Amino acid sequence: MNRKWIFPFLAALLLSAWSGTARAAHAERIVSLAPSITETLDAIGLMGSVVAVSEYDDYPAAARKLPKIGGYSTPSIERILSFRPTLVVGESTFHTQTLSRLSGMGVRTLSLTMHRSLDQVEQAMRILGRELDRKKEADRAIRKIRSELESLRRRIRADHPGKVPSVLVIVWHDPLTVAGRTNYIQDILTRLGIPNAANRIIFSFPQVDRETVLSLDPDVIVLAQAEKGMAITRESFLALFRGLPLRAAASGRVVEVRSDALFHPGPRVLEAARLLAGALDKEGKPRVP
């Protein structure tokens, strides 16, 4: 056997073993306070380090089996501490007080903002990648999102060369609440080149009446439903506007879309984008590019 390559080969093995040991020695015990955070941790290969999640976490499948630390906005400090976390990750809008209390107890915490835009989602991925030694995985996930969104945008343009239909996304039924100008859903529509019929309304998720919906008069209406959420059906929504001049209702382009991806800003943006793009089809069937 040629010794000239044996020693470099052994050195590479030792280096690889040392790197694996080093990463294992710093194994994290992560508590996630929000579904979006759990899904982001999964996207960068860290689901195995998550030891507890919120009651609303159900993706990926492994999250359903993990212990729960309370509701989305009411996590239990005692429960969190019982899992001896090395890191607790929450969202800035909802978990500031919880993270502050934990930090005061000496627990390492991380606050992310990711509910308003895809830029925030990407930034959250970068922060987690940097803090948890998963920078390459985070960069890879971001590149995939950008590439596939652009591919889907091109397909929409090709399918609608004259004018891309406008869309009104309804996220709640009583009172009627829509995706306005500054939110995650609007940002997805923008990236896809789909006009948001409610873009002129400056609020994130404004409540609207029937007259406002009639004035917006979108080409397509999407009834966005979480897995456990809005109960209105296509038929009951159409009943609200029976006999009224609403273009989407008249053309039969009122579409039910059921997926938590529309409500969990994070790496499942591609699933949400495909569903919104699919709503442009007259049949309203989701389309996978």
Residue 142 has pLDDT above 60, yes or no: yes
48: its two tokens: 């195995």
pLDDT in the model for residue 3:
44
Q: Is the CB of residue 125 less than 8 Å from the CB of residue 142?
A: yes
Angle, helices 35-43/118-131, rounded to nearest 10 degrees: 60
Residue 19 has pLDDT above 80, yes or no: no
Domain of 194, in residue numbers: 165-278
146: its two tokens: 């950008």
| pLDDT interval class at 215 (50, 70, 90) | very high
Asked if the structure places residue 39 within a domain, the reply is: no
Mean local confidence (pLDDT), 156-173: 93
Q: For residue 96, what are the CA distances in angstroms to 22, 88, 91, 148?
A: 32, 12, 7, 33
pLDDT in the model for residue 229:
62
Residue 6 has pLDDT above 60, yes or no: no
Asked if the structure places residue 178 within a domain, the reply is: yes
Per mean pLDDT, which of 72-81, 110-119, 135-144 is the most reliable?
135-144
Distance of alpha carbon 24 from alpha carbon 262, whole angstroms: 35
Which of 9-13, 24-28, 276-280 has the weakest average pLDDT?
9-13
223-239 pLDDT, tens per residue? 998 876 666 778 888 88
Asked if the structure places residue 79 within a domain, the reply is: no
Residue 282 has pLDDT above 60, yes or no: no
Average pLDDT, the chain: 87
Residue the block writes with tokens 């399918």: 159
Mean local confidence (pLDDT), 185-211: 94
Number of neighbouring beta carbons within 10 Å of residue 238: 15
pLDDT in the model for residue 233:
79
Residue 289 has pLDDT above 70, yes or no: no
| pLDDT interval class at 281 (50, 70, 90) | confident
3-state secondary structure of 180: coil
Number of neighbouring beta carbons within 10 Å of residue 173: 17
| pLDDT interval class at 243 (50, 70, 90) | confident
Q: Is the CB of residue 32 less than 8 Å from the CB of residue 89?
A: yes
3-state secondary structure of 52: strand
Kindly report the CATH number assigned to the domain that includes residue 271: 3.40.50.1980
pLDDT in the model for residue 39:
96
Asked if the structure places residue 266 within a domain, the reply is: yes
The pairs formed by 88-94 with CB atoms below 8 angstroms and a separation of 24 or more are 88/30, 88/31, 88/33, 89/30, 89/31, 89/32, 89/33, 89/37, 89/41, 89/128, 90/33, 90/34, 90/37, 91/33, 91/34, 91/36, 91/37, 91/115, 94/33, 94/34
Number of neighbouring beta carbons within 10 Å of residue 82: 14
Residue 283 has pLDDT above 70, yes or no: no
Asked if the structure places residue 223 within a domain, the reply is: yes
Number of domains forming the structure of the chain:
1
pLDDT in the model for residue 4:
44
Asked if the structure places residue 31 within a domain, the reply is: no
Residue 208 has pLDDT above 70, yes or no: yes
pLDDT in the model for residue 225:
86
Distance of alpha carbon 254 from alpha carbon 235, whole angstroms: 9
Asked if the structure places residue 116 within a domain, the reply is: no
Distance of alpha carbon 75 from alpha carbon 95, whole angstroms: 9
Asked if the structure places residue 241 within a domain, the reply is: yes
Q: Which amino acid is at 289?
A: P
Mean local confidence (pLDDT), 21-33: 69
Q: Which residues contact 136 (CB under 8 A, 6 or more apart)?
A: 129
